[in-house]
């Protein structure tokens, strides 16, 4: 079986956009409306000649359970099944309580966890990324999943961690 990279984070931070960026095609569904139920979907990816599985931990039904509970389940599932976990955070919003709750769980992970400060679309926004050191998971990686900025460096880091 291929090594598994799990993409986790709260709705609307850009997980599916990042998955599409990693795949180089639009396979994952990008939603402007958060909370649409789509469960974990895995795709086969290739970077620098290495194959791996990338899992888009999709949305959930916000009516069925609270956001905090969903994020906890998502993080715990990733810790059981993934070889590397990528926690995506919206750097234009900063660390929310939900992000902090996910980070608290992921700090116990035996697998490497990489924090992506997403939506760093330009150099001016880089400072937002540094604020995400507060999650206690090491250096936040500035990325624009939408435009591709920083995504190559991120993938190098992910594969180094595998």
Does 42 sit near ligand GDP (CB under 6 A)?
A: no
> Any idea which residue has 């070889």 for tokens?
83
Name the residue with the smallest CB distance to Mg ion.
16
Q: Would you say 128 is a known binding-site residue?
A: no
Please identify, using beta-carbon distances, which residue of 2 and 29 lies nearer to Mg ion.
Answer: 29
What radius of gyration do the chain's Cα atoms show? 14
DSSP structure string for 118-131? E---SGGGHHHHHG
Does 16 sit near Mg ion (CB under 5 A)?
A: yes
Does 118 sit near ligand GDP (CB under 6 A)?
A: yes
Does 55 sit near Mg ion (CB under 5 A)?
A: no
DSSP structure string for 65-89? S-HHHHHHHHHHHHHHH-SEEEEEE
- Kindly state the smallest distance separating residue 133's Cβ from Mg ion, in Å: 25
Stretch that binds ligand GDP, among 67-75, 77-85, 105-113, 115-123 (CB under 6 A): 115-123
CB burial of residue 90 (10 Å; 0-12, 13-18, 19+) = buried
Please identify, using beta-carbon distances, which residue of 101 and 146 lies nearer to ligand GDP.
Answer: 146
From ligand GDP, Mg ion, none, which one binds at residue 142 (CB under 5 to 8 Å depending on kind)?
none
Structure token digits, residue 135: 């999650």
CB burial of residue 121 (10 Å; 0-12, 13-18, 19+) = middle
Please identify, using beta-carbon distances, which residue of 8 and 79 lies nearer to ligand GDP.
Answer: 8
The residue ranges that bind ligand GDP (CB under 6 A) are 9, 11-17, 30-32, 34, 118-119, 121, 144-146
């Amino acid at each position: 079986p291929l090594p598994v990279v799990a993409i986790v984070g709260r709705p609307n931070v850009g997980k599916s956009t990042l998955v599409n960026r990693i795949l180089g095609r639009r396979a994952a569904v990008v939603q402007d409306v958060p909370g649409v139920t789509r469960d974990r979907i895995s795709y086969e990816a290739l970077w620098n000649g290495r194959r791996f599985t990338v899992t888009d931990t999709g949305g959930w039904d916000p009516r069925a359970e609270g956001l905090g509970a969903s994020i906890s389940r998502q993080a715990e599932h990733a810790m059981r099944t993934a070889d590397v976990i990528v926690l995506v955070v919206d750097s234009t919003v900063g660390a929310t309580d939900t992000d902090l709750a996910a980070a608290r769980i992921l700090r116990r992970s035996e697998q490497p966890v990489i924090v992506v400060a997403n939506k760093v679309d330009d150099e001016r926004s880089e400072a937002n990324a540094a604020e995400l050191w507060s999650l206690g998971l090491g250096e936040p990686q500035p990325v624009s999943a939408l435009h591709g900025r920083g995504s190559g460096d991120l993938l190098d880091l992910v594969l180094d961690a595998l």
